[in-house]
């Protein structure tokens, strides 16, 4: 089993174009709630972006696999459906 690369604030993953872009991602992630230091950008990735970054050798976790999910939420008699990709086997993700 391969180890997951753990990123901490200030250590920009290769998939980000700049330190400023990574800082903005961290700031937005914090607005969503507490962000433990071991959480990395892979939690917001998807198979298409991963493939793009793999093609230019900028993916630091190419072994991460994704699964598609659908969640139904009933709130105040209104049903909503959320769909998206989540990493599986991504350690703290």
**What pLDDT, on the 0 to 100 scale, is given for residue 54?**
95
**What pLDDT, on the 0 to 100 scale, is given for residue 37?**
65
Domain segments of the chain as ranges:
19-88
**What pLDDT, on the 0 to 100 scale, is given for residue 9?**
54
CA 46/CA 23 separation, integer angstroms = 20
**Mean pLDDT in order along the chain per 10 residues (93 residues):** 51 90 87 71 90 95 89 80 78 47
**What pLDDT, on the 0 to 100 scale, is given for residue 42?**
84
Q: Which residues fall within 8 angstroms of residue 90, CB to CB, at 6 or more apart? A: 4, 42, 43, 61, 64
Entry pTM? 0.69
């Amino acid at each position: 089993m391969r180890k997951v690369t753990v990123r901490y604030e200030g250590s920009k993953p290769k998939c980000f174009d700049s330190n400023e872009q990574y800082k903005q991602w961290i700031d937005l992630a914090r607005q969503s709630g507490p962000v433990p230091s071991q959480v990395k950008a892979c939690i917001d990735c998807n198979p298409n972006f991963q493939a793009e970054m793999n093609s230019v050798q900028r993916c630091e976790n190419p072994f991460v696999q994704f699964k598609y999910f659908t969640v139904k939420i009933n709130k105040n008699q209104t049903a909503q459906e959320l769909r998206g990709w989540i990493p599986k086997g991504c350690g703290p993700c």
